[in-house]
């Protein structure tokens, strides 16, 4: 755990939140949603972003993350109409918290505003 990381504090229970979880990740509802349904799936272990994962981490962490993504979309019902999964990696991509996480967005027609 890193003392300066808000997601590490959530994982450790220092910052209380309601979430789904498994051995390697948690899923919370985003406090500043960009869509009617906006979940954050966060690695329990601190990795800055996808680029910090080693191959053995990929095999351990990513399946757990995608299991929670599947759980979130089924619980919210957005699995039927469509949803977006995004992981911003680095400053140029818009990553604001340097801890591996994925945004899961849905519940409405999403805007197509990708790109520079």
Domains belonging to the chain, first-starting first, are 6-106 (3.30.428.10)
Active-site residue flag, 38 = no
pLDDT of residue 35: 95
Q: Considering the entire predicted model, what is its pTM?
A: 0.93
| Long-range own/partner contacts, residues 81-84 (CB < 8 A, 24 or more apart) | 81/106, 81/107, 82/106, 82/110, 83/37, 84/35, 84/110
pLDDT value at position 66?
Answer: 97
* Residue of 38, 99, 101, 103 marked catalytic: 101
Cβ-proximal residues to 55 (8 Å cutoff; 6+ apart), any chain: none
Q: Which residues contact 111 (CB under 8 A, 6 or more apart)?
A: none
Please report, in tens digits, the pLDDT of each residue of the chain (116 residues total). Answer: 888 999 999 999 999 888 899 999 999 999 999 999 999 999 999 999 999 999 999 999 999 999 999 999 999 999 999 999 999 999 999 999 999 999 999 999 998 876 65
The pLDDT value recorded for residue 116 is 54
Would you give the distance in Å from CA 35 to the centre of its chain?
14
- The token pair at 58 is 């990929």
Tokens linked to 113: 């505003």
Report pLDDT for 112: 81
Q: What is the pLDDT of residue 84?
A: 96
Question: What residues form DSSP beta bridges with 84?
Answer: 105
């Amino acid at each position: 755990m890193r003392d300066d990381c808000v997601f590490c504090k959530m994982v450790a229970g220092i910052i209380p939140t309601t979430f789904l979880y498994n051995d390697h990740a948690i899923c919370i509802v985003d406090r500043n949603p960009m869509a009617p349904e906006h979940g954050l799936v966060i690695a329990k272990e601190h990795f800055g972003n996808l680029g910090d994962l080693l191959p053995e981490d990929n095999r351990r962490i990513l399946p757990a993350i995608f299991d929670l993504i599947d759980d979130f979309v089924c619980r919210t019902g957005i699995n039927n109409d469509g949803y977006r999964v995004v992981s911003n990696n680095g400053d140029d991509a818009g990553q604001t918290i340097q801890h591996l996480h994925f945004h899961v967005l849905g519940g409405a027609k999403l805007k197509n505003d990708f790109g520079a």
